[in-house]
Amino acid sequence: MVATPHPDHMTIAEYLDWEPLQELRYEYVHGIVIAMTGGTIPHNDIALNLYRTLYPHVQSNGCRINVADVKLEISSDSPYYYPDVIVTCDPRDLNARRLLRYPKLIIEVLSPGTEAKDRGEKFAYYRSSSTLQEYILVESEKIGVECYRRGEGRLWLYYPYTSGDIITLESIGCRVPIDLLYENVSFEESLLP
């Protein structure tokens, strides 16, 4: 399948009709479509480790977890992003086929090219969801996890984690050793061909 050229600006309706027909995934921000680029192998390994680690717990609690290829819509006039990992327990999302609307937990695996956007623009957008309880940022170039947990009112509480720590995900009632997220992840390029 070949990507269809897109105009400089699209309406949300045009984007939602056009994007599923494309070979690549595209995020949508204020009329502009942005092609999703491929990540690094560590980025992919971490996202898969997250999914593998959280899936049994999430599923046994009647929730769903998705990785990378699921679009998020918080309101009908908002940007559309593809979080690296998203968990929803809302019955309105459990049989969704095109996009999710009611996240409980969102996890972004950071890469040098997306870190500023994940920390700034995306976090500001994700915070507008009334159902989001936790936003997690996972380093892909070193061991480190940052958890932002919804507090009272507009307050978000910050919890950093490093090697050897147990990450507490209150939103889904789960504790995860940080080392599981980095299992078999290499931070240095092999010199072998």
73-82 pLDDT, tens per residue?
A: 988 888 999 9
Tokens of 171: 């939103």
pLDDT at residue 1 tops 70: no
Q: Is 67:85 a contact under the CB 8 Å cutoff?
A: yes
Average pLDDT of the residues in 82-108: 95
Q: Which residues contact 50 (CB under 8 A, 6 or more apart)?
A: 67, 84, 85, 107, 109, 138, 181
Q: How far is it, in rounded angstroms, from Cα 10 to Cα 77?
A: 12
Q: How far is it, in rounded angstroms, from Cα 59 to Cα 140?
A: 26
Residue found by looking up tokens 């080392």 in the block: 179
Q: Please state which CATH class domain 39-181 belongs to.
A: alpha beta
For residue 17, give the DSSP letter.
Answer: H
3-class DSSP assignment, residue 70:
coil
Tokens of 104: 């409980």
Q: Could you give the residue range(s) of every CATH 3.90.1570.10 domain in the chain? A: 39-181
**Which run of H or E residues covers position 86?**
strand 85-88
For residues 1-38, b (16+ Cβ closer than 10 Å) or e, as one string?
Answer: eeeeebeeebeeeebbebbeeeeebbbbeeeebeeeee
What does the pLDDT read at residue 2? 41
**Would you say the C-alpha torsion 84, 87, 93, 95 has a positive or negative sign?**
positive
pLDDT at residue 3 tops 50: no
Q: Is 117:92 a contact under the CB 8 Å cutoff?
A: no
Average pLDDT of the residues in 97-102: 93
pLDDT at residue 153 tops 70: yes
Average pLDDT of the residues in 79-86: 94
pLDDT at residue 68 tops 90: no
What is the pLDDT confidence band of residue 190, given thresholds at 50, 70 and 90? low
Average pLDDT of the residues in 118-141: 95
Average pLDDT of the residues in 46-65: 95
pLDDT at residue 87 tops 90: yes
What does the pLDDT read at residue 86? 97
Backbone angles phi, psi at 56, to 5 degrees: -60, -40
